[in-house]
Structures are given as C-alpha cells and as structure tokens.
Structure 1
Amino acid sequence: MIAVTIASTKGGVGKTTLTANFAAFLADLGQKVLMIDADPQPTLSSYFPLRLTAEGGLVQLMLDATANGVISQTEIEGLDLIYSNDPEGKLWDWIRDAVDGRVRLKHLLQRPAFANYDFIFIDTQGAVGPLQDAAVAAADLLLSPIPPELLSAREFVRGTVAMLDRLRPMAYLGAPIGPLRGVIYRKDRTTDARRIVEELRSESYLPSKGSITILDTVIPASVVYREAATFKTPVHRLQVKRRGNAPSALEILQALTAELFPHLRKPMAERAALRTEGI
C-alpha cells in the first residue's frame, strides 16, 4: 500500500480536484484505492456519488482508532472513501492535544484493515495546522499541485518547504516525512507561466533540492476539470481524446502515473491494448 497525501500550505490550488481524479484513474486501472477527506470543508466527500455510506467518517477513525463503520463506497468500482465529518474543526484541537495525535493516522493505516488497498489518497486543507500535520506524517509520498502563478510559486517554496523542515523530527515517532513531488497545475500558455515554471525547475529556486522534485508532467488549464466535477465523473472518462494539440486528460493521468508509479506502466499498456482492440 502506498499512502499519498496531496498537500499545500495555500488553499485553492487544486488539491481536491487532483486527489479525486488521480484516485479514480488508478481505480479504473484496476487498483484498489481509498480516499480520505482530511479537510473540514468536505468537498472530496461529495465529489463522486456513493453507493454505500458508512455510519462514521474521519472523526470516528481518529478518535476511536478503528476502521469499522468508517469506509464508504463510491459508485466507481474499486474506489472507497472515508468522508470528512468535522465541520467545526474539532479534530484540530484533539490532534494538537493528544499524545499520539500527529502520528495516529500513520499507524492506523498500517493496520490489516487497510492492507487490501493499493493506494490511499489523503486530501488536506490549505492551512497549516495539526490536521494537515497528521496527513503529511501519514504519507509515503507527498504531492503538491502548483499553479504557475507568482504568489502560488512563492508560497510553495516558502510555506511547503518550511512545513517539511518543521515536521522532519516526526521520524523519531515512527513517521518519517516522505519525499515531495510538485506538479505544475493549471498551466496556461502565457509567457509569465512559462517563466515561473522554469524558475520552479531551477536548482537555485528550490531549497532542499534533494527532497523536492518538480515533475515533468504538467496539468494544463482546462474547463474539462470543472465539467467533470459538475457531472461527478472522473475527468479521464469525460475527455479521452485530444482537443487540438493539447494532451487529453487521460494522457496526462497516464503520464503522471508512469512518472510517479513506474510499476503501473505495464497494466496501463495492457489496458490501452484492450481499448485498441475494442474489448
């Protein structure tokens, strides 16, 4: 099982959209995937329709330390959800005050109840705090969407890097901080966007270069992501073919998967062959 936390210290950068669509793509690839909505604003919790709604959600998982009755099933085969049910943000205080608050999620996900999942995706709030700390500490891999805008790029460097440095001592509690991968998100065709991307990729612009990598895969600005959210369907199902010269959503998610998880290249190739043969 690989736990992936989608994290950024800035809100509105596309964390939930990336979480939902990446998780759904992997589920369609035949992987067993669990999404955890760790944002008090539960957008991910209602992103896809549910065919089975559990009695509890994130609060019960964290406070009761149990997986019983907290895993809902989406209508997408192989894609489950632990929904956010903490609108008042009380988990923030509990995690802050509990002895094992910031590492509990990490240790819970190592229990047998989660062993049947290939991936667990954790969506986070766009604010520094104990809940985000717990989600980051639980991850094997951190993925951060970065819009190529000056303020977003600066916040990624300043806030996200500072967060990693602050949480590195968590390793002494059995929760080492995973490597961070930044993905350029909502890139348009302006000169300014291209310049910011070049700066983000430059070694001089990124401190802690060894633990931070900007991926080659770029997710362009496109209305298809909003359309997919409106229809409550994964974006790769909505946009399979190219529009003009731009890569399709399916091609982008295939490239992102191949870059982050090379062991899935063969399953992707096999499924592509089946589609070509019309099976």
Structure 2
Amino acid sequence: MAIKLCVCSTKGGVGKTTLTANLGAYLAGLGQRVLLIDADVQPTLSSYYPLASISDKALTALITDGETGSTVSTIDLSSIELGESEGALDIVLSDDPDGALQNWILHTPDGRVRLRHILSEYDDIYDVVLLDTQGAVGPLQDAAVLSADLLLSPIPPEILSAREFARGTLGMIDRLKPMAALGAPVGPLRGLLYRMDRTADARTIARELRRETYEPSKGQITILETTVPATVAYRESATRQIPVHCWEPRRNGPTASGAETMRALTGELLPHLEG
C-alpha cells in the first residue's frame, strides 16, 4: 500500500514545493516508486524537474473523473542524475490556474474526500505519493490534506510563520476532524523547521514550537528533530532542476548537508525506507 504524504501549510512561501521535490527525488534515489501530485493553483512543482513525457490530462481529471493512469506524466530521471536507482519519479501536473477545480470540490457532495479514495488505486503502482499544496486555506488544500496518511509542514523559524503554524494549522486540523465520519480522518502532523539559521532568535522560536505545539494539539503535532538549514544550495539546485542531494556533492563533497538532511528526514518520517 502506498504511503500518502501531504506537504501543507496555511501560510505561503514557507518552502513546501522545494521540500516536496527534494524529498520525492531522494526517495526515488532509494529505489522507491514515487508519485508527486501538484495540488497548487500555482504550478511550481509541475516545472521543478524536466519531463520525459507529458500526459494529456492532469489534476482536474484525477479529481473530477478519477482518472489515474492517464493523468501521470514522467519526470526525466537521467536529467536529474539519480544514479543506478531502480526507483521511479512521476508527477500529476497542476492544470487549474483559474481555480475552477476549487469551486468544483466546494459544490460536489464528496468533493473534499474523493481524492483519498481515488489515490488508493495507486497502491500497487507506487510506494509513496507526495502531495504539494497551496499556501492558503481552501477546498483543494482540504482535499489534499484529507487524502494523506501523514502531513508534513515546513516552518521557517521566524515569529509570523511560527504563529501561523500554531494558529492556522491547528485550526485546519480541528475544522477537518468531522470528515473522519466520511472515511477521511486527518493524519498526524509533523512540523519541520525550515531554513534554520544559527541565530539566537531562531533557536528560541524552535524551542518554543517544540514546547507549545504539543499540548494544544493533544499529540497530533510533533516537531521533528531534523531541521533544514538556511543554505543557498536549495535555490541553486532548483535553478538547475536537480535535487539538492545530487547538486551539493559537486560543490561541497559527499558529506554535503542536503543529502544528510534528506536522509535524516526520511529516517524520521518513513524509517522503514531507510533501513
């Protein structure tokens, strides 16, 4: 059965797409069959890596018609240099720039929960399904969140992002809890400190998040020990359309932080994959 992991936040610009793309490529490098789903009206993930083939259909057909195979495009693994991996890295592209899909989900009785049931059709095809979402509350984000077994939220260690995580994300979880009655319970949430620098302010905010978010969430939120450092390598690798764990060894040698970070993150989120 494929693991469905949704990268989400109620705040934009926190690093969801970069995290989704790099985690997906790292898992493919481990030999996993990975499907990325770009559930954002701004199709940044759709153009993050070069494509080997492009399907005629995309996210809209996946959700509205339950089209699975015909909506999957193929990422060019040779271009992003994953080496000898036998894994796969495919993607369902975003195709809803005007937000029509949002309205369809809103006005369809099972709109918010149907994606969860549709994704079960990938269980024999993929090992991991990663969903990237928009940085705003809405029906499309709800559908992606409710389709997942596990939620991952990047949190920059600055006060506005920390407050929005504690307020907005907890509010989202509480709002969607009733969907469990329709067979779509909200999965556990893991917070990931993202663009962590070495300032005292960042350390203070990280400490407060780890202390404050556990109690009000009644265990639904856990702040991971892994942190993503503030480094230019993520921007540089995105420019070159290759994963950070493939790019950094060229610059800094085999112990580069991108590979170490992805290894640590995978070990915490999906320990059985790292062995």
Aligning the two structures, in what range does the TM-score lie when normalised by the shorter sequence?
Answer: over 0.9
Aligned partner letter, 2:118? L
Question: Is 2:196 the counterpart of 1:187?
Answer: yes
Number of the residue aligned with 2:38: 37
Find the aligned partners of 2:102 and 2:230 in 1 and give their Cα distance. 33
Gaps of 5+ in 1: 267-279
Secondary structure at 1:232's aligned position in 2?
A: coil
Which residue of 219, 224, 246 corresponds with 2:228? 219
Deviations 1:134-168 (A, max 9, x none): 00000000000000000000000000000000001
User: What does 1:40-51 correspond to in 2, within 5 Å?
Assistant: 40-51=41-52
Aligned to 1:24: 25
User: Which residue in the other structure is 1:198 paired with?
Assistant: 207
Aligned position for 1:99: 109
Write the mapping of 1:84-233 to structure 2, written as runs, cut at 5 A.
Answer: 84-111=94-121, 113-203=122-212, 207-233=216-242
State the shift of 1:209 in Å.
Answer: 3.9
Deviation at 1:230, TM superposition (A): 0.3
Q: Residue 183 of structure 1 contacts residue 214 of structure 1 at CA under 8 Å; is this kept in 2?
A: yes
3-state SS of paired residue (2:32): coil
**CA distance in 1: counterparts of 2:12 and 2:236, whole angstroms:** 21
Q: How big is the alpha-carbon RMSD for the aligned residues of Structure 1 and Structure 2?
A: 1.6
1:79 alignment counterpart:
89
Give a deviation string over 1:28-60, Cα, whole Å, max 9, x none.
110000000000000000000000100010011
User: Structure 1: which amino acid aligns with 2:12?
Assistant: G
Q: Which runs of 4+ in 1 moved over 3 A?
A: 203-206, 240-244
* Maintained 8 Å contact 1:144/1:183: yes
Secondary structure of the equivalent of 2:97? coil
Deviation of residue 68 (structure 1)?
Answer: 3.6
Q: Within 1, Cα distance between the matches of 2:257 and 2:138? A: 36
Residue in structure 2 matched with residue 62 of structure 1 by the alignment:
63
Q: TM-score, normalised by structure 1?
A: 0.91
* Aligned residue in 1 for 2:273: 264
Query: Which residue of 231, 244, 247 corresponds with 1:238?
Result: 247
Identity within the alignment, %: 59
What is the one-letter code of the residue matched to 2:217? S
Alpha-carbon separation, structure 2, partners of 1:200 and 1:36: 29
**Structure 2 CA distance for aligned equivalents of residues 204 and 163 of structure 1:** 14
Q: Is the 8 A contact 1:200 1:206 kept in 2?
A: no
Q: For 2:153 and 2:270, how far apart are their aligned partners in 1?
A: 16
The answer to whether the Cα contact below 8 Å between 2:248 and 2:256 also exists between their aligned partners in 1 is no
What is the CA-CA distance between 1:204 and the residue it aligns to?
6.7
Aligned to 1:5: 6
- 1:252 is paired with a residue whose SS is helix
Which amino acid is 2:200 matched to?
T
Paired with 2:65 and 2:272, the residues of 1 have a C-alpha distance of 35
* Paired positions, count: 264
Whichever residue aligns with residue 151 of structure 2, its letter is: L
- TM, length-normalised to structure 2: 0.92
